[in-house]
Amino acid sequence: MTDELTIKGFRLFPGYLDRTAQEALVADLRGVLAMAPLYQPVTPRGKPMSVRMSAAGRFGWVTDRRGYRYEPKHPEGMEWPPIPASVLSIWDTLSGCARQPECCLINWYAEGARMGLHQDKDEADFAAPVLSVSLGDEGLFRMGNVERGGQTTSHWLKSGDVVVMGGAARLAHHGVDRIRFGSSSLLPNGGRINLTLRVVT
């Protein structure tokens, strides 16, 4: 746990995945993306997001002019691939949740990409935590409050770090202000991959 981010229910596991485990996870994700390619999401107002997305599991989280929601199929029509066992093992070890995740959202951050402050609130069961895995370049993660506004705190998440947000942190606003492009050699072309595991139903 860092001194910077102390909201109740926020747990940081720095360096949880060593380099070998990170490389194996990236290889598994390449298999997922071969079946469900990254795509360019847009907000309900039609603005392209700076990240590219895909997913694995029973559902994928999508956004377009129809709004934010979970869907059983990729925007291009194919079903989402299963969540790799290597990803599920992280959930089983760290989440403290008896239920299995139904969505593994995959966000890819190129140079200059960011994610504004938001809540993960499209799920039916807020008792289940959200688990996040960082791979590749470092990302400046910012945590706010359940209500918009107020003081926020930030921390650089490094490749191999895992975050679990439950309890009071489950509905806290959070985002990624920027990435430190080129700070990791894990991905040949640079960039950051973030995996977010969620129970949906």
Structure confidence by residue, pLDDT tens digits, 9-40:
889 999 999 999 999 999 999 999 999 999 99
pLDDT-derived band at 5, boundaries 50, 70, 90:
low
User: Where along the chain do its domains lie?
Assistant: 10-198
Distance in angstroms (rounded) separating the CA atoms of residues 159 and 17: 8
Position 3 pLDDT exceeds 50: no
The topology under which CATH files domain 10-198 is Jelly Rolls (2.60.120)
148 has a pLDDT exceeding 80 = no
State the pTM of this model: 0.91
pLDDT digits (tens, 9 = 90+) for 57-93: 999 999 999 989 999 999 999 999 999 999 999 999 9
Confidence (pLDDT) at 2: 39
Which pLDDT value is given to residue 6? 56
Q: Which is higher by pLDDT, 137 or 171?
A: 137
